[in-house]
Every structure is written in C-alpha cells, then in structure tokens.
Amino acid sequence: MSLTVKEIEQIAILARLELSNKEKRKYAEEISVVLDYVKVLNEVNTDDVTETCQVTGLEDVVREDVVVGCDEETKEKLIGAFPEKKRDLLKVKGVFDVV
C-alpha cells in the first residue's frame, strides 16, 4: 500500500503536526513500507496458533486497597499547611469547566 503525500498531509493535520515537504515525502515512503509489511503479516495463516497475552508466566501482584486514617496531630498539620480552608475542608481550584 503506497501512501501519497496528500494522505500524509491529511494525517499530519489530524495529528496536528507541521511537516516540511521533505518530511512529507520521507514519511509517505517510510509508512508505506510499514503498511506493506503489515499486509504480508496479514497473509500468514494463524488458525492453529493459540492466543498469547504474555509469555513470562509472571502475574500482576496487587495489594488490597485499605483506608488508613491519620492521627489528629498529623491531620492538624496538614490542614494548617493548606492555603485556603474552612474548618476541616480544603479549598482547591476547580478542574472542570462548568458549562
């Protein structure tokens, strides 16, 4: 599959990339080679091949998420160090725009 410079320009627009003419020609050629290789891989018969997620045998080890409180002295220090507060509530800047 051969990509044209025009197709590379469209991909660059979607990816918000600014490419020089030299880069556009270069990427058209390089990405075309990759796509041609993927086409070859798609022709390989994998009917009798078992799906494999990983081959090391390692398993993900996670601990249970447990809530642990802190003592009153530590709590007072944390609240005291916060720039804006009201009683035990801490005021932070909003992270979402209200529409």
Task: Give me the sign of the Cα torsion angle 76, 82, 85, 88.
Answer: negative
Distance set, CA 55 to CA 41, 58, 75 (Å): 21, 8, 46
Domain membership of residue 59 (yes or no) is no
- CATH number of the CATH domain containing 37: 1.10.20
- The pLDDT tens digits for 3-59 are 999 999 999 999 999 999 999 999 999 999 999 999 999 999 999 988 888 888 888
Domain membership of residue 26 (yes or no) is yes
Domain holding 22, by residue range, is 5-42
Q: Is the pLDDT of residue 85 over 90?
A: no
Domain membership of residue 18 (yes or no) is yes
Domain membership of residue 90 (yes or no) is no
Domain membership of residue 81 (yes or no) is no
Record the pTM: 0.48
Domain membership of residue 31 (yes or no) is yes
How many structural domains are present in the chain? 1
